[in-house]
Structure 1
């Protein structure tokens, strides 16, 4: 079966930047696409389909972003699944190759974000977050002035801490780790180390969350060339990284009823997607040495350790305190620095996670290389909602 699994032939990134420093989305995307094609050793003319992900932009921005690299006339499908957009584009690219409708497909994601917290851009129609806000507002009615995403994930962090007694310092340690990892990543936005005290002393946002526990608005782009093993053999490509399994899940009634803030931010979605991937790949969480997971807030990294089965329910604090989430521990989480330090350009995040894990499996991650990595897990979540979990494996 492994002979038919799609391969990641090439990956590329444009360096992530804050909105005040970045170029426009077309410039960033051209850099990422050209890097991925060069890494794969293919031309844009070899690509049969393109899936372009972005959240904030006009219709057909995907075509506009692609045209700087060339205009070949192939189908371009625009994708928007909130913060899981990049992985959703990757999911579609894999589906096309796995289903035999294309041999070489490009997944690309980009975002040109504005400064400040995320907000609604369309206030003249129903918001997809009405159900989410109703659950949070019922629990914390006096905090509606806090940023939307911080209320959701901060509320989930409070619920987790109330259930298991997790200390504020434990959440802060996630940012400390993220910055330490990002210091070795030239593509990351925030590479300066911070202490637990500095994290806790930064401006309070909501719940246990301080500013340094929230991912920054970021601009950037990422791309991946996905191909069939047959295409790779014909062209003599480096296709040693396969997508061993992948799953996308969406909300079920348990997201909202009974009210559970962990499920509201995707705990059960992630658990279902991870279970499907472990079953399909025949690889369990205890076998994974490196993970790129969706740490949009420190609270979500804590929660995700357990939803992905990396540690049993209620043990995330011990997992952190024992150093099992970093180098020398059981599984290195977010060697790139994650969303907290590398940055979170919504449409590009899933492709950036893919790139990091491909480099890890090829042994090309430099000073942040995880020794002996032969499998890797990716977790990308977008509220509203979609969760994509992907297992990569190095093959001979």
Structure 2
């Protein structure tokens, strides 16, 4: 990073909420999240100089666009506030973070609000699957025969791993089990109160049925209503904030490094391009190593934990070897060794991730950054990774079309 971009705090909604059942619209959720975030960080609305919003499907789910205007409507002090909305499928929140960080690095603004938000439970589940199906891939050009397009895509990822390296369903099931277990520790996790049967993580077609392809029920992330906000600050504003609250300014976390890469939109094009490469998605590996390089980090051994995109268990399986926890194709080794569990060598998704924690599409990247902030400041509660100083994110949109990785640390 050319100059430091600090994270000075934020707020996350309860991802178990169903906003429509509570009579809430997306505007209500945005407003309450913004105000709770300000209260949590002891900021005032007049302190905010710019706002960036990550959202994928407000037009599709809520018939609502122009979310910057909804942000500005939250408080009279926001009148005239520059605000913009960013979309990159499931990586929308991370794109908003990158844009806000660039504003601060350029010296345009000193304090930015980054809000990720998505309302998805106001329609039936099958309709929700269709609304996030075609629009995030090349609509009309791929997976036209799939009932659940993204389930099929990541089933194909599993097939490709099996073809190239070998793959056992037991390892994917263990990823799911770990993330659901971690979610029980997280008071904001969507599945924290869920119960499971003895065969819920097996190949039992009753307790863990196949949804499409080879993807089973527990392999899938959740359809979620949720929002998260973080506040990014320049070095000057962060130090001013620390002085005002009597904090140790050197203990404030900042975004140490970032990586952002975009691949051709179709899954088939990505797989064709990766033939002969070590990694299934070389551009994903590139985004991660770009973040390492910008952070001055040699490799994953200097990372204390990871919040990664597990829209399906295969996505986390891919992240494990792409981060370098194992050689390519050998993610199973880290799973069997317990390396990815809380207390393991490099815990992955201590929050519960998308499978356990929930996946409000446009909010996910912001939520990941907030969880990294919590980890490196010792504020993660029961899912705290002991001694965490550096945490990484991996947030992907589509079939790893848009990929963003961040390193947050002190």
TM-score clears 0.5: yes
Give 1:105's match in structure 2, choosing from 100, 105, 112.
112
Gaps spanning 5+ residues in structure 1: where?
138-143
Gaps spanning 5+ residues in structure 2: where?
59-63
- Report Cα offsets for 1:167-219 as digits up to 9, x if no partner: 11111111100111000101001023547731333221123311121111100
Matched, 1:249 2:255: no
Secondary structure at 2:404 match in 1: strand
Classify 1:53/1:330 alpha carbon distance in 2 versus 1 (closer, same or farther; 3 Å): same
Aligned equivalent of 1:91: 98
Secondary structure at 1:355 match in 2: helix
What are the within-5 Å matches in structure 2 for residues 1-396 of structure 1?
4-17=3-16, 19=18, 21=21, 23-57=24-58, 58-70=64-76, 71-113=78-120, 114-117=123-126, 118-119=128-129, 129-130=137-138, 134=142, 144-191=145-192, 192=194, 194=196, 197-200=199-202, 201=204, 202-235=208-241, 236=243, 238=247, 240-252=252-264, 256-257=268-269, 259-260=271-272, 267-283=281-297, 284-383=299-398, 385-394=401-410
- Report Cα offsets for 1:131-186 as digits up to 9, x if no partner: 8954x67xxxxxx2330111111110121123222211111111100111000101
1:306 deviates by 1.4
1:355 deviates by 1.1
How many residues end up aligned between the 2 structures? 383
- For the 8 Å contact 1:180–1:193, the answer to whether it is kept is no
- For the 8 Å contact 2:116–2:229, the answer to whether it is kept is yes
- Report Cα offsets for 1:247-277 as digits up to 9, x if no partner: 21101599644744989x9833321111111
- Report Cα offsets for 1:226-246 as digits up to 9, x if no partner: 001111222325551010011
In 2, the alpha carbon distance for the partners of 1:161 and 1:175 equals 18
Aligned equivalent of 2:61: none
Classify 1:316/1:254 alpha carbon distance in 2 versus 1 (closer, same or farther; 3 Å): same
1:63 deviates by 2.1
- For the 8 Å contact 1:156–1:262, the answer to whether it is kept is no
Classify 1:30/1:194 alpha carbon distance in 2 versus 1 (closer, same or farther; 3 Å): same
1:67 deviates by 2.0
Secondary structure at 1:78 match in 2: strand
In 1, the alpha carbon distance for the partners of 2:186 and 2:173 equals 21
Classify 1:253/1:88 alpha carbon distance in 2 versus 1 (closer, same or farther; 3 Å): closer
In 2, the alpha carbon distance for the partners of 1:132 and 1:300 equals 24
Classify 1:41/1:266 alpha carbon distance in 2 versus 1 (closer, same or farther; 3 Å): farther
- For the 8 Å contact 1:131–1:256, the answer to whether it is kept is no
In 2, the alpha carbon distance for the partners of 1:8 and 1:329 equals 26
- For the 8 Å contact 1:183–1:193, the answer to whether it is kept is no
1:351 deviates by 1.0
Classify 1:255/1:150 alpha carbon distance in 2 versus 1 (closer, same or farther; 3 Å): closer
In 2, the alpha carbon distance for the partners of 1:214 and 1:188 equals 15
Secondary structure at 2:200 match in 1: helix
1:342 deviates by 0.7
Superposed CA RMSD: 2.7
Classify 1:326/1:127 alpha carbon distance in 2 versus 1 (closer, same or farther; 3 Å): closer
- For the 8 Å contact 2:326–2:333, the answer to whether it is kept is no
In 1, the alpha carbon distance for the partners of 2:157 and 2:363 equals 25
In 1, the alpha carbon distance for the partners of 2:129 and 2:184 equals 30
